[in-house]
Amino acid sequence: MTTSGPTRTEPPVDLDDATGRRFRTFDSLIDVPAFRWYLLSMTGNWSALQMQQVVRGFLAYQLTESFVALGLVELGNSLPRVALALYGGVVADRASRRVMVQMGQGISAAIAMILATMLFTNVLRFEHLVIAAVIQGSVNSFALPARQAMIPEIVGQTRVMNAFALNVFALNTMRLVAPAIAGAIIAAIGSAWVFAVMAILNVLAVVAMFPVPAINAARRAATTGATIAAAAPVLDTHGRRASRTGTREIGDAFRYLRGQRLLMILLGLQGITAVLALPYQRLLPGFVDEVLSSSPEETAVLMGLLLTFTAVGALVGSLLIASLPNRARGRLLIASLAIFGIGLLGFALSHWFWVSAGIVLVLGVGQAGRQSLINILIQSTVADEFRGRVSSILLLEDGVDSLGIFAIAVLAAAVGPQAALGAVAVALLVLAAGLWGTRTVRLLD
């Protein structure tokens, strides 16, 4: 007996392009109810994340007036991933990914409420922001690999490109709204209320995730036909159940990657481009304060507006990718890197807010392309039994990348934010030109 749609425990049947639907932009939302709940939950989570980037950077710079302090907060958030991300991937391949995501959302709500209370009582210091960032980074080491790995098991392989593009579209929608709201709240009633709103949003995210199936490793193996180490017992020479350590399963993932040239290229490209693309947002509080603003209150508002304009461009880019067929993805990725590099160079040279606001629209288009296409290519290539661990390697790279971001923050302190971002933009353009001139583009396509 067949069913007309996906069940709570089985991914939807993959559909090919012969369905006859002319416009495929929202296929995953239309066809897969669980994906709608997933995106709703992530919307609350991402809203809180975008608000956090505004308020945490704003407070760090206002408390210290130092670009190095911005880099230290980022290091505090990212370095735990170096130690924990790979183990987070192992857990994501063993356990229910939905439950892991919900636990992360709940802890994030608690962190936000504690920081709000400290601000309301006037006891918050810079070191508290660093400690909170370390705790949040540790939580993300387990929640983020599960979040990335969930999407293919919810929507099926044929919809992966569409679903990931819609995922980035929803994220960029929050980038459109949440930073401006955070900046307005800071200017009107204070930073404490931003953390209070973040706590509420994360609680709502936990609730919205419940309708998404909680599929463990054994159920995933039965559903996908994959052979997952965590799903099947491993016996020793005496027929007893042998213990599989997290270290061994991490080693299995790296042995798998050695035979996957495309995945190795994509993981390397993600690491390099993250180092070059992320400093724009991480250094924005100091850049706006020194180049575009005349007061702390104006800095908060202008920073929120710039992130909002960036999100407008990202919405355009992610919707475009969601509408495209599964072709020429490598060329689209390289074009996205070039667009971002051109936009960042213009932003670094600008001294006028409205010119900068127009330029960041271009930055948004390039950023959406980079984020969507690298994740689409990775998740379309990796075997399901290694999906959580490969997603955790991406998270590990983010932690290592923060060392590069910290170095760029130190450079900005030495030579100024405009010169530092200009150098990053040139490096991105050189990378895009190098990729276009090699055989890598054909392999990525």
Task: Specify the pLDDT at position 227.
Answer: 40
Least confident of 129-143, 180-194, 250-264, 430-444: 430-444
Q: What are phi and psi of 242, to 5 degrees?
A: -90, 155
Least confident of 114-118, 362-366, 419-423: 362-366
Q: Say if residue 407's pLDDT is above 70.
A: yes
CA-closest candidate to residue 224, choices 3, 8, 9: 9
- Cα-based distances in Å from 327 to 72, 173, 258, 373: 41, 25, 26, 11
Most confident residue range from 133-147, 187-201, 238-252, 353-367: 187-201
Alpha helices in 350-438 (DSSP H): 353-381, 387-415, 417-436
Q: What is the third-level CATH fold of 31-211+256-444?
A: Growth Hormone; Chain: A; (1.20.1250)
- Note the pLDDT tens digit of each residue in 13-26: 444 444 444 456 67
Task: Specify the pLDDT at position 195.
Answer: 95
Q: Say if residue 124's pLDDT is above 80.
A: yes
pTM (whole model) above 0.85: no
Counting Cα atoms < 13 Å in the Cβ hemisphere of 394 gives 30
Task: Specify the pLDDT at position 236.
Answer: 40
Task: Specify the pLDDT at position 288.
Answer: 85
Unique residue bearing structure tokens 């929507």: 155
- Cα-based distances in Å from 297 to 112, 169, 293: 22, 30, 9
The structural domains of the chain, with segments of one domain joined by +, span: 31-211+256-444
Stronger pLDDT, 158 or 398, i.e. the higher one: 158
Task: Specify the pLDDT at position 102.
Answer: 92
Most confident residue range from 177-181, 239-243, 299-303, 349-353: 349-353
Task: Specify the pLDDT at position 411.
Answer: 84
Stronger pLDDT, 399 or 45, i.e. the higher one: 45
Inter-residue long-range contacts of 128-134, CB under 8 Å, 24+ positions, other chains counted: 129/56, 129/59, 129/60, 129/63, 129/73, 129/76, 130/72, 130/73, 130/76, 131/76, 133/56, 133/73, 133/74, 133/76, 133/77, 134/76, 134/77, 134/79, 134/80
* Confidence label for 326 from pLDDT (cuts 50, 70 and 90): low
CA-closest candidate to residue 379, choices 150, 199, 205: 150
Inter-residue long-range contacts of 414-420, CB under 8 Å, 24+ positions, other chains counted: 416/290, 417/67, 417/283, 417/286, 417/287, 417/290, 417/291, 417/348, 418/287, 418/291, 418/348, 418/349, 419/348, 420/279, 420/283
In the chain, the percentage of residues whose pLDDT exceeds 90 is: 12
Query: CA-based angle 131:134:136, to the nearest 5?
Result: 110
* Confidence label for 240 from pLDDT (cuts 50, 70 and 90): very low
**Mean pLDDT score of the chain:** 77
The DSSP secondary structure of 117-144, one letter per residue, reads HHHHTT---HHHHHHHHHHHHHHHHHHH
Least confident of 30-44, 236-250, 274-288, 301-315: 236-250
